[in-house]
Structure 1
Amino acid sequence: MKPPRFSIPAMHLLTSLTYLSSTKIFTEATSDPSSGCKCQPSQPCWPDSDAWSKLNRTTNGALLKTVPPGIVCYPGPAYDKEACEKISEISVYRKWITESPFNVFQSGWNGNPCPPTNGTKAKEPCNSLLGSPVYVINATNPSQVEAGVKFAKKHNIRLIVKNTGHEFLGRSSGAHSLSIWTHNMRDAEFTESFQPKKCSKTKPHSAVTIGSGMQWRDLVILAHPHGKLVVTGGDPTVGCIGGFMQGGGHSPIGSKYGMAVDQVLEIKLVTPSGKYITANECENPEYFWALRGGGGGTFGVVTSATIKTYPTQPISVAIQTFNLTSNNTDIWWDWMAYVHSDIPRISDAGLMGYTFIFPNGTERFAYAAALMMVNGTAEEAADILKPVYANLTANSKYKDHIIYSHTNITFPDYMSYFTAFFQTGATQTGAAVLPSRLLDARALTEDPALFAATLKKMWSPFVGAYLGHLTAGPGVAQYKDVDMALNPAWRRTYNHFIAASGWDTPDQREIVLDNARNVLEYNLRKLAPGTGQYVNEALYGSEGWQAANWGANYPRLFSFKNKVDPQGVLYCFNCVGSEQWVEGPNGSLCRASWA
């Protein structure tokens, strides 16, 4: 089994893919929603060219017909050797993904139609879009989004939303669909005192209003001249207020300021009925509740949001490593259990960041952590970790088998830290699998022997790395009394932990997924049975995903989804209400009652 490739940061290393199979192939959908199935291009219900032309005029020429960029490498009229060589060169960069209306972060999600061939001509022509949309609206204003939503609803067409395509669960792909691409809605307006109109119960706060296409690197750079920082994600290419924010949005500075949903003061969106509205604590409060943690692509298409800003701060980083120097893996996992048991202490003391456990040879392992402190000195950060090193060097059980290193780096402001640590990585082919769990203090500290045994039991050639996100802690817990859709388990979480796996070719898929469900996810649930998982970084098709993603909030979310979107205009797998639908092997999407 070829292990997946990894790059910092942890939460954007992998994606997961599996397909539901259906016992029936649905082929008789009509444009009537009561038929139970979404319309497909091969069916009479599909809009004719005049209807699509009218949509194009309504959106001022924003409608694009999907043409896989890699088609220039395939036999046919589009073949172009020079263009094929060029696209093969640039397709390894994420910028190519984010700036394309058609591509997605990991091509396994849409079946990878017409992949570039490194400049060589493919043997067979490319004749299928597979899981890509049929048409895309390049939206630059809310009226274009309104037109797209209304068109999809009228013609009973599957509707999807793509911002950057940086999506781990395939929710920005969809066969036989119309896509709304929000990437070019990128305005940013800063203010020192924002308060939603007619909403005195929301305290004024310095803020920035951003379009839904804004990405974190760009916003960090824009905020710097204003002397501000924003609660970012951990990857420069991630969209600020798309699925990231709507799913919760953990942050490298979350243990200080909270999650992305904790920063939102107001949201503007187009509802599933095609209406453009404002949502805040006082206006459309139920939408405001649902969009803060209920997941993207479900309750509407967000076009802009206003989020809090804070004075920029110096950032001190402690880079910590441990390496196993012998083949005694029992000692290693025992030490890892101790290191993880110390996470609540160091988090409460002000450290936050990311950890990695990965193979360092056939029988050896390494651990690396980038732990940072907001507005603290390098000495303060190092002092917090001194008890860990003292335990290692003083304990004969460990010191003959494990060595450590420690490096300090200080940055004068948040922009310097972010741009140095979070670089744009390469694209990835195939798909990744993300069994994960929110680990609270009990899971981390109560039974170190169980923790060590669990990590040892799960490790196999299927696993590429264990990824830890120390991004919750006291900063997230401070919002525990705020009413929103976010999984309440986040408020007592210290470590969002992923056992990262993946596959490169479809023939590996089932065996990898079987291990992910029955070994990795099973053991993580036993380790922390009362918590849950992060909706944006979880196993696709996770068992009991409703409660795992949203806890006690799911019934309310399900009821609201059926209230505002009874036709199922917006659908994504393992999203709220998606259990009412079934994806067939031919790309059909039908009501579950028809399966």
Structure 2
Amino acid sequence: MNRREWLKAALAIPFLSLATGGGVMSTLAASIAKTASGLRSRVRPGDPNWPSPAQWDGLKQQVGGRLLAPVSPFADRASAAYSEALKHIKNPFFIGDQPALTQTSGWAKAWTSQPSVYAVAAESTADVVAAVNFAREHHLRLVVKGGGHSYQGTSDSADSLLVWTRHMNKVTLHDNFVAQGCTDTQPPQPAVTVQAGAMWIDAYDAVTTHGGRYVQGGGCTTVGVAGLLQSGGFGSFSKNFGTASSNLIEAEIVTADGVARIANACTNPELFWGIKGGGGGSLGVVTRLTLRTHALPEFFGGAFGEIKASSDQAYRALIGKAMDFYQSALMNPHWGEQMAFGPDNQLHISMVSQGLSEQQATDIWAPFLDWVRARKEYSFPKPVQALALPAQHFWDADFFRQHLPGAMVDDDRQGAPRNHVLWSGDQGQVGWFIQAFQSAWLPASLLRADQQSRLADAIFAGSRHHRMEFHFNKGLAGAPTEAIARARDTAMNPQVLDAFALAIIADAGDPAYPGMPGPDLAAARSNAERVDAAMDALLQVAPGAGAYVSESDYFQRDWQTAFWGTNYPRLAAAKQTYDPHGLFFVHHGVGSEGWSADGFTRLT
């Protein structure tokens, strides 16, 4: 165990004791033991209890013929499918349309993308119910995939039955929505209902480009709506509108007993709370979600550029100035996204804004940029510039094709929907093979005047090892009171409420799906060591920092505490209620400590 993990583990012991009077681990152990009287192991192909061809055919008939046997297009290098897949290897829309593939091709010494034996290409809740019942009755490993973006491989498993929701992608707008059973407690409000297989570009196109309103979703347009929301969910403008999960009004979810349940604040409230940040794939299969929509600001925009320091000493000063500037001018509902620091002694600025004109944004940045320009030790490899555009065009593909070509990348396949685009900066994640990935929420107390120097020293020390990104929109310090209150009523680690940023330190290589040339594992080891060293340095000033479940270390030792903090016992209780025999399993998901790493064998 390295120093960082030791510090976290040491801090977790008194934390857990205080959280539940010393009984959290014994309570969880008892819960796991209680469920152990049910399913002990799952079956694989070749096992005596594996479903017969006739039984599989019965499932196929139940789901209208939509039972597939997924085959990776990379399985045969001599095939036309292999050549076609290589041609579209950086097109996430193509990757997402392959039931055998995932957006991430794997993680060094962790997992590789493997197709399920069978997949139900669900088009309705009834299809999902049929798949869940079949998996439960035949003791199968069940996997759920919508967008398939999971870095930790939770939408992927060999020898499994896949519930593939890609074709459940309808988006419906509401002027006056009231959650079922909540007529007496909730006023009607504007909302949008999104099926589980929809991507955020589908939601943004309907709600913003054509509807003139805003829904809080993810920054990457090809991320699945359901998966992002169940993990908490951040977008560029979360500093104002809160997390995606905190904007959930109602959901439909198929639980382990094969029942399609409505979950909202009035009906199945613990299930509702649990899917708001409790992690996807642990409590059931979400089939549709209804989210509140917000009035659209006049402008969305940002500030982008790079500043280079001529010496280490100057870079340390620049880091300190940037953190002070963020605290005084940017830690508010207007600003989100990133600053990055690395061994190149450059400050990389990629910030976004809402509710500010280009002139207002320019004026906000002027004092900081004047300070930089007044010092000869700094230069601008890319000038820092502010911009703004009408907010209704922020995800308008045709607008960007005309005014900012290159900022968005099209789905390049013939006949693809014109609105299916992604930000060019997100293309690097398509198919990537992760070598290391770590995150940490940084408390706003580090931005106090008496702490800023320690923070800047830690950032500088970490940046000697590896580039580190500060995602300011992935912490709610500086957000409106109402947004923080809504996020407090979710299952996420409460640290997010007072975090000014989520620090992310990561490295990855080229796509390496099985069948393609293998990953460079020597480079992966080296890069993982540098990532670890960088995070060690940063956590000297935030030793108890939690991590974001969707963007975290596959090998996180204290994952229950890191992902959910004091909320984990309540999540474990919801798991016991709605999935007592552990049908739903994902890596480091709620209740997964009771299973082997592959989810096939009970440990207790």
TM-score, length-scaled by structure 1: 0.82
Give per-residue Cα distances to partners, 1:274-312, cap 9 Å, x unaligned: 110100010111111101111101111000011111232
Q: Counterpart of 2:246? A: 262
Q: Counterpart of 2:335? A: 352
Distance 2:115 2:530 in 1: 26
Question: Which of 401, 405, 414 in structure 1 is aligned with 2:378?
Answer: 401
- Cα gap change, 1:341 to 1:308, in 2 (>3 Å): same
Superposed displacement of residue 160, structure 1: 0.9
Give per-residue Cα distances to partners, 1:9-66, cap 9 Å, x unaligned: xxxxxxxxxxxxxxxxxxxxxxx98563221113112111111111111111111112
Identity rate of aligned residues, in percent?
A: 26
Give per-residue Cα distances to partners, 1:360-403, cap 9 Å, x unaligned: xxx63322323333222122222222332243345x5xx42344
Superposed displacement of residue 171, structure 1: 0.8
Matched, 1:423 2:423: yes
Q: Counterpart of 2:347? A: 367
Superposed displacement of residue 325, structure 1: 4.6
Q: Counterpart of 2:163? A: 180
Q: Counterpart of 1:304? A: 288
Superposed displacement of residue 347, structure 1: 3.5
Per the alignment, in what secondary structure is the counterpart of residue 219 of structure 1? helix
Distance 1:478 1:522 in 2: 34
Check the 8 A contact 1:315/1:372 in 2, yes or no: no
- Cα gap change, 1:430 to 1:33, in 2 (>3 Å): farther
Distance 2:530 2:576 in 1: 31
Question: Which of 388, 391, 394 in structure 2 is aligned with 1:413?
Answer: 391
Q: Report the residue type matching 1:534 in the other structure.
A: Y
- Cα gap change, 1:346 to 1:473, in 2 (>3 Å): farther
Check the 8 A contact 1:110/1:174 in 2, yes or no: no
**More displaced stretch, 230-239 vs 279-288:** 230-239
Question: Which of 38, 41, 44 in structure 2 is aligned with 1:37?
Answer: 41
Q: Counterpart of 2:217? A: 232
Q: Counterpart of 1:294? A: 278
Matched, 1:592 2:603: yes
Distance 1:228 1:130 in 2: 37
Q: Which runs of 5+ in 2 are unaligned?
A: 1-35, 401-406, 408-421, 511-518
Superposed displacement of residue 137, structure 1: 0.7
Question: Which of 557, 564, 583 in structure 1 is aligned with 2:578?
Answer: 564
Matched, 1:546 2:535: no
Superposed displacement of residue 159, structure 1: 0.7
Distance 2:594 2:81 in 1: 43
The alignment covers a number of residue pairs equal to: 529
Check the 8 A contact 1:319/1:368 in 2, yes or no: no
Check the 8 A contact 2:444/2:477 in 1, yes or no: no
Q: Counterpart of 1:77? A: none
Q: Report the residue type matching 1:339 in the other structure.
A: A
Computed over aligned residues only, the root mean square deviation of the Cα atoms, in angstroms, reads 2.8
Per the alignment, in what secondary structure is the counterpart of residue 478 of structure 1? helix
Distance 2:485 2:288 in 1: 25
Matched, 1:436 2:435: no
- Cα gap change, 1:319 to 1:418, in 2 (>3 Å): farther
Per the alignment, in what secondary structure is the counterpart of residue 527 of structure 1? coil
Per the alignment, in what secondary structure is the counterpart of residue 274 of structure 2? helix
Distance 1:204 1:166 in 2: 33
- After the TM superposition, which residues 17-416 of structure 1 pair with which residues of structure 2 at under 5 Å, given as runs? 36-74=40-78, 80=79, 82-108=80-106, 131-199=114-182, 200-223=184-207, 224-240=209-225, 242-326=226-310, 328-357=311-340, 364-394=344-374, 399-403=376-380, 405-416=383-394
Check the 8 A contact 1:356/1:369 in 2, yes or no: yes
Per the alignment, in what secondary structure is the counterpart of residue 156 of structure 1? coil
Superposed displacement of residue 460, structure 1: 5.5
Q: Report the residue type matching 1:406 in the other structure.
A: V
Check the 8 A contact 2:334/2:355 in 1, yes or no: no
**More displaced stretch, 563-572 vs 308-317:** 308-317
- Cα gap change, 1:358 to 1:340, in 2 (>3 Å): closer
**More displaced stretch, 518-527 vs 508-517:** 508-517
Superposed displacement of residue 468, structure 1: 2.6
Q: Report the residue type matching 1:457 in the other structure.
A: A
Give per-residue Cα distances to partners, 1:459-502, cap 9 Å, x unaligned: 356x3553534343433653444422122111112211101223
Superposed displacement of residue 162, structure 1: 0.4
Superposed displacement of residue 179, structure 1: 0.8
Distance 2:131 2:110 in 1: 25
Superposed displacement of residue 263, structure 1: 1.2
TM-score, length-scaled by structure 2: 0.81
Check the 8 A contact 1:479/1:491 in 2, yes or no: no
